Amino acid sequence: MPSLDLTQWAILVFSLVLVGFSKTGVSGAGTVAIALFALVLPTKISTGMLLPLLLVGDVVAVASYRRHADWPRLLRLFPWVAAGVVGGAVVVRWVDDAQMRRLIGTILLVVVTAHLWNRRRGPENSVAHNRAVAALAGVFAGFATMTANAAGPIMAIYLLAAGLPVLNFLGTSAWFFLTINAFKVPFSVALDLVTPATLAFAAVTAPAVLVGAAAGRLLIGRIDRTWFERVTVALTVVAAIRLLL
């Protein structure tokens, strides 16, 4: 278990409430949680601490939205995401925390810029329907999730560009992250990111994720799609800037 003061524990618990809320409510909240975790713990350690707790949230999200997934889109993405995870595992072994934060922050800003440009094209001309763009989004998402658990913004912006309704967005995201986070576990164990200590931390703090997930489930029916998109993009930008600083 990490040696933390009361303020640091409060930040971590709040972050985990946001993790749960991001799984069943506003997905961008998870990006803020990643940034807050990195404030308290070194990036690599925070990645390992967070993964088991992300899986807790993923299970809740799938249980809530399992009937709303866009499976054809998911199946097209999975091979590319797997390739990104493998590439990310190689990078994690060789880069330090500062280099990893800057790399992920840059990727997130590129993704936001591409999303805003794509919105101006209109839904009929959205590049999200292009197979090459889907492949690129998958590789970026796999790489970002392996290096910093930061695939959420990439997938959020890709699925928003695809024009998915809110429930389909959440169902597709839920199955995507449950599958990919489970796929990451052997790599994370091999890299000593997931250890008995991280599992003990997860066992103690998992209730905070469940509280956030319950809140997201209660509020999702009141969330407007336009507001949902704006908040997701704004939180992504904030997290990217935090990673670059």
Structure tokens at 13: 């618990």
Helices (H) and strands (E) in the chain, counts: 10, 0
169 CB-near residues (< 8 Å, 6+ apart): 27, 156, 159, 160
In degrees and rounded to multiples of 5, residue 5 shows phi and psi of -85, 180
Looking at the domain assignment, is residue 1 inside a domain?
no
Number of structural domains (the chain) is: 1
How far is Cα 97 from Cα 13, in angstroms, rounded to an integer?
Answer: 22
Looking at the domain assignment, is residue 153 inside a domain?
yes
Instruction: Classify residue 82 as exposed, middle or buried by CB count within 10 Å of its CB (0-12, 13-18, 19+).
Output: middle
Task: Find the domain containing 88 and state its range.
Answer: 6-244
> Could you tell me which of 6, 82, 65 has the C-alpha nearest to residue 40?
6
In degrees and rounded to multiples of 5, residue 115 shows phi and psi of -65, -45
Structure tokens at 201: 């931390």
- pLDDT tens for the chain, residues 1 to 245: 557 778 888 888 988 998 888 888 766 677 777 777 777 777 677 788 888 999 998 999 898 888 888 888 888 889 999 999 999 888 888 877 777 778 777 877 877 777 677 667 665 565 556 677 778 888 988 988 888 777 777 787 777 777 777 778 888 888 999 999 999 999 989 888 888 988 988 898 999 999 998 988 887 767 666 776 677 677 778 777 877 87
Looking at the domain assignment, is residue 145 inside a domain?
yes
Looking at the domain assignment, is residue 151 inside a domain?
yes
**What angle do the packed helices 43-65 and 166-190 form, to 10 degrees?**
140
Residue 132 one-letter amino acid? A
Looking at the domain assignment, is residue 90 inside a domain?
yes
How far is Cα 169 from Cα 172, in angstroms, rounded to an integer?
Answer: 5
Three-state DSSP string of 52-95: HHHHHHHHHHHHHHHHHCCHHHHHHHHHHHHHHHHHHHHHHHHC
Looking at the domain assignment, is residue 138 inside a domain?
yes
How far is Cα 231 from Cα 223, in angstroms, rounded to an integer?
Answer: 11
